[in-house]
Structures are given as C-alpha cells and as structure tokens.
Structure 1
Amino acid sequence: MLNIFRFTLLAIAAIGLYYGWYSTGRQVRFARQFAYSPSYPVACKINNAVALTYDEGPSTNTKDILSSLATANVTATLHIATTYIQNNLDFQSYVRAAYQAGHDIGLRFNTQMNAANMTLSAFQAQVTSESQIVYNLIGVWPKFLRLGGVSTAEIDAWVQSQGFVITGFAVDPKSYSSTPTAITNTYRDYLSKLVGGQSFISYESDLYAAAAQALPNTLAVIASYSYHVVPLSKCLDTPSYRTVSGSTSGGYVAGTSGSITKSDAPPNPRPISIVLAMVTFVVQVGWWAIFHFI
C-alpha cells in the first residue's frame, strides 16, 4: 500500500509539473515567435505623386533645397531634428521659411536614440519635448514623425493616439553616400518601373550637399514622367499638423499584420491527449514497480 501511495503522489506531481511548464514557459516561447512588424505608409493616396521628404536637418544645405523647391513651385516635407535648431538662429530661420512657404514640418526622432529600446514613458517625454520645440518656433504641433527604425507596438499605439503619423518611404537614393547624378538616376529608374500612376514617398537627408545639388535635376525627371511633388499632408490626405498637443485627430498608422506581442499572444491550449498519455505512462511504470517489488 505504501508503494501505491507513493505512486499516486508521483503521478500527481508529474501532472502538476506538466501544467506548470506548459501554461507558462511554453506560452512565453510561443509569443516570442511573433516579432512586431509595423507597416508605415510608403505611398500616397493619390496617383502620380511623389512625396519628397528630407530628414535630419536643417543644415547649411536646407536653404538651397528650399530655393530649388520654390523655383519649381512645389512643396515637400522636412522632418527636422530639433537638436540642431535649439541654439542656431540660422537653422531656425530655415525652418520658419519652410513653414511659411507651405512645406510640412515634421519631426525626425532623435538620431541618437532607438525607439525600440526605450520605455514608453521615456519615448513620450522625448517626443513631447521635441514637439514643444517646434511649436515654440512656428506655432504649430508637428504631426509627421520619422523614427529612423522600428519601434514597439506600445509606442506606436501611443503615437497614433496623440495624432501623429509615422511615415515610411519606398525610395532612398542614399544621399548620404551617393553622387548627385546617382541620386537623380535612382528616381528615374524607380519611376520607369511604375504603372498606373503609382505614387511613393522618398527619403533624403538635407545634411548632405548631394541632396541639394541633385534636386533641380531630380525635379525635372519627376516632371518628365508626369508626376508632381507633394507634401505628406496631400500625399496621405490628412491635415499637416495636430490641432493641439496630444490631439487624437488624424492619427494614422498603417496596419500591423502579424504583430503579436507577448501580452497579446493567445493562450496555449492544454491538449488532453498529451495529459492522458503522460498519466498512462506513469500508471504503467507504477504498476510495473508494484508487480515486481511488492
């Protein structure tokens, strides 16, 4: 009888261990299989449009970029890095001039930070601070936000709730390492492959002179394909700015298919067949022991 009692305890312990392992450890492992994979807008909602965006400025090249855009009578989007304008009156004047000319002024999230590695509270504080700097300069709350990388589902949800639009891009002519001719050729090659008036958002950096030097020829190439340059507000059919700090109006983040975080992961089932198989095995071992040793 003592052996039967011990066998019963062993069976109960085995089942308990199984449930503890399967309902916690396995569930976490299952959740981690799903990496966050957001889909930020890379194309316009209108046809035959190119949304030129310039990031990480302003710089000494920004003035030339604005001049070329004015000559062509088109407007674009500047995702500015606020660290460059806080103590530089010239750069501040470029941002004001761009805003007054009708360009969309957005934010380039701090280039020294990675949103994916930040807590939500730290990210909130950083974006709120950067937004305030823009508001203090031109009197509007920026809406378009370029992160420079992937963030997290939690951060993206907060960004959307505040009325921001996180923007991606389809074309990167690598103005940081390309010649002006190579930059223009990138646009030409991409445009030549489009059908039915497909539109796109591009990314360049006005930190580099090549971006400014290439722009006149790039604009000519875009026009030669019967495309027109637009700011992101027209590209995505949404207002250029948030109405107030923390506004929920007009926030837009494209679908995030396949983006399941650990907290969102569905609970794992506990298949009865496996439980029964384990119990059966333990019972067989137990009866074998009883038969041979009692």
Structure 2
Amino acid sequence: MANVRPGGGPPAPLHEAERTFTEHRALLNAVAYRVLGSVTEAEDVVQDAWLRWSRVDVAAVADAEGYLVRVVIRLAIDRLRSARVRRESYVGPWLPEPMLTRPDVAEDVVLADSVSTAMLLVLEILSPMERAVFVLSEAFGYSHAEIARFVGRSHAAVRQIAHRAKKAVDERRHRYDTDQATRQEATERFLAACLGGDLKALIEVLAPDVTMLSDGGGLTGAPRKAIHGHEYVARAIVVLSKRMPDDSHAQVLQVNGGPGIVVRSGPTPVLAITLQSLDGAIKTVHVVSNPEKLAGVAP
C-alpha cells in the first residue's frame, strides 16, 4: 500500500499533481525502460501512471516517489508478460529499443551497465517479477523492504527473488570494457572503417570471435540470424554500409549508456548500432534497423 496520510478532502489542484509527477518522470521512465527494454512501451506505462496519479488526492500521499514507482513497476510487469508472448512471433533476432542517454548516465558505471544493450538482453532470461526486482535493487538501490511494497510480495520473498535473479544474471553476463575513453576510441575506429568501406580496417577493430545481431523486425533487409567471426561480420557491415540512403549521415552519440552510432536519412533515424568491446576490440555489434524501434534515437 502507498504511504497515505489520514484524512480526506478534495483532490489537489491538477497543476500540483502535474508538478509532482514531472519531478519523478525521469526516474519512472528509467525504471520502466529497464524492465521493458522498449522506449515506446515505457512511455505508455508512464502515461498510464500519470492518468492514475491525476485522479489521486495528491495531498494525501506522503511518499509520492514510492507511490509512483509502485504503480509503474506493476504496470510494467503486466505489460512485459504480454510483450513476451508477442515476441514469440517476432521476425529475426529481437533487440531492445535503442535510446539516447545523457553523458551523466555513462559516468555512473552501474547505471550505464543497467541500460546497456548487452545487459538488457541478459535480463530477458528473467521472469517479469525477477527482472523488476533486479532492476529496482541493482540499478536504483531500493531496499528489499521497499521493493516488497512496490511489488506486493513479502520481504522474505523479495530477498529470495533478488538472490535468484542476481545469480542468474552473474552466470550469463560477460566482461566488457567500461572505460568510456576506450569505448569511444573503438566506436570511432569502427565508424571510420565503415564509412571508408575498409574491410581490413574493420577486421582489425573487431575481436576474432565477434558476434553481430541485427533487428529489422522483418521490415528491412537485416540478417535474420546471428553472424559470428570477424571476417563474416566485417563483410556484412560493408554490405550494410552500401545499402544506406545517399543522404544518410552517421554520428557517434551516447546510446544506452555508452558511445554508439546513429545513422539518419535527413532527420529520420534509419539505423542504430551499439557496441561492446573488451580490451579495445569489439566483441558484440547490435544493429537495430526496424523503423518502429528507432523513436528513442530520434532528434
């Protein structure tokens, strides 16, 4: 239950409710996105939370953040359950929706890791409840007692869920570079090789066992299976580069907590690439070209 002060009275003025909600909106979006891996669905959840909040007697809510996080996390869990059913018929690899992030996110190693494409993919192994508990605990530092109130479980149950989720994630996560300067240099070398169509330069920046996943959702010519090995990945990227529209331009931006590449045709994003490197060599290449999943990297 939310921490509500006793007493009744008329609802608070809408501008007061809106001001309070706006103060917490960035947090709510961040929580919803990490649970759902989708910019558009996270925005829908936060909008649903606003509609509920606008009907509440805000003056009677002692802990606005706790109330709003509880609403958002429960809506996100429900939406994730239905989303996973829809993904069973998804064409080709499914990747999280890329999202532009602020530089201060990249400076916080824990926050940057929690929003990285690699981590969001690892979180797919968890049940919706496990994922929600993991995100709230590991990324945002809520206590088990607070999370228990958010998700409607006992303190002991949440502690067990958190332990199980963390163990599962730790067993499957890989070690990647976290130093932003190292990642920035690898990304810039990768982009320069792409723009130059230089196969040899691309092979040199890729790790021998690099993997490339492309998400076109069946709407673009993206490969429908993973590509492994630096020679095969480099050739696939050269082909991809040649297919870009004539007016396209690529830019290194902060995407999902680290340097990534956004390709636009005019103002419209047509491609988003996130990279993970180890010792400066790129280990994973995640490419999203599904136009329905690029709203998060629009200007």
TM-score bracket for the superposition, by shorter chain length: under 0.3
Please, what TM-score do these two structures have when normalized by structure 1? 0.22
User: Based on CA coordinates, which of the two structures has the bigger radius of gyration?
Assistant: 1
Structure number with the bigger relative contact order (C-alpha 8 A, sep ≥ 6) is 1
